[in-house]
Structure 1
Amino acid sequence: MATTTFSIVTPEALRFEGQAELVIVPGSEGELGALPRHAALVTTLKPGIVRANTVGGDGKTVERREFAIGPGFAQVLPESVTVLVDAAWEKSEVDVEATRAELRALRERPSSSEAEAEVLRITEHVLQAKIRVAGGHE
């Protein structure tokens, strides 16, 4: 089974690193799927969900992993996929009710400028992705 090294990196930590058969990222122009030996590219990422079919240490077990991410970049090389983002959460790390409360508070907050409105919009998309990755269907 061919695999690629898959990593998610935030400013705080290496959030995940392992082998994957397939990685799907939310590119700014749509979803992008990367298989082993994919052509090299760099793309911007919008807030959303990264999905990966990761391979266990035995080289046979495949597990579907999902991460909610903030905006960032992905570098795809023939032997690796690296996701560089502001923040990332795996399903088990998301408290759906707390995230919904945060989203409600954000939507009630007025913005004083176009730049602030854009930051609030991006934050809203990140919170929605966190809820979706945890199965909350926002």
Structure 2
Amino acid sequence: MASFHFELVSPEKMLFSGDVESVVVPGADGDFQVFAGHAPVMSTLHVGVLKIAGNTNAPQRVFVRGGFADVNDSGLTILAEQAVDLAEVKSDQLMQDIRDLEEDVADAKTDAERARAQAKLEGLKALQLAVAH
């Protein structure tokens, strides 16, 4: 099967750059799969899991939350607001982080603090759901 260049970038780091055979992308209008020669398209991302095939060096399943996907003649580039390799998630630590954020939401002194903590909590709960599947 033909391959194409794929880059996955988060604010913290470049998570992957290399050739792959396909990537399933959680687009805002629904999941779509990219292969070599895919028509150009741009899409925002919704919360979901990227599924990467055809490269043993690539993380196979990556949780993403927010961002953009750009398919062009050069390949696929994903700029994700949050990206986590599901193979690296430790369930015990994730559960503790969720409990801590639930306390932060309950203890927030201002609406702004509560909203920030709630947004982080929702992100971790989405990650927890992705890990479970």
Task: Mark yes or no: TM-score above 0.5.
Answer: yes
Q: Which has the higher helix share?
A: 2
Alignment equivalent of 1:104, drawn from 90, 99, 103 = 99
For 1:120, the equivalent position in structure 2 comes to 118
Give the AA of the match of 1:85. Answer: A
For 2:68, the equivalent position in structure 1 comes to 73
Cα distance, 1:132–1:79 mapped onto 2, change above 3 Å: farther
Matches within 5 A, 1:11-22: 11-22=11-22
In structure 2, the gaps of 5 or more residues are none
Structure 1 residue 103: Cα displacement: 2.4
For 1:52, the equivalent position in structure 2 comes to 52
Q: CA RMSD in A?
A: 2.8
Distance 1:107 1:28 in 2: 28
Query: Would you say the 8 A contact 1:66–1:133 is kept in 2?
Result: no
Q: For 1:87, what is the secondary structure of its paired residue?
A: strand
CA deviation map 1:22-62 (0-9, x unaligned): 111111222111111111111111222111103358xxxxx
Query: Would you say the 8 A contact 1:94–1:131 is kept in 2?
Result: no
Q: For 1:98, what is the secondary structure of its paired residue?
A: helix
Structure 1 residue 124: Cα displacement: 4.1
Moved over 4 A (4+): none
| % identity of equivalent residues | 26
Distance 2:24 2:16 in 1: 15
Distance 1:56 1:99 in 2: 26
Equivalent residue pairs, number: 128
In structure 1, the gaps of 5 or more residues are 58-62
Query: Would you say the 8 A contact 2:61–2:87 is kept in 1?
Result: no
Structure 1 residue 19: Cα displacement: 1.4
Query: Would you say the 8 A contact 2:4–2:21 is kept in 1?
Result: yes
Return the TM-score normalized by structure 1: 0.75
Give the AA of the match of 1:95. Answer: K
Alignment equivalent of 1:86, drawn from 61, 70, 81 = 81
Query: Would you say the 8 A contact 2:28–2:43 is kept in 1?
Result: yes
Q: Which has the higher contact order (CA 8 A, sep 6+)?
A: 1
Return the TM-score normalized by structure 2: 0.77
Give the AA of the match of 2:127. Answer: K
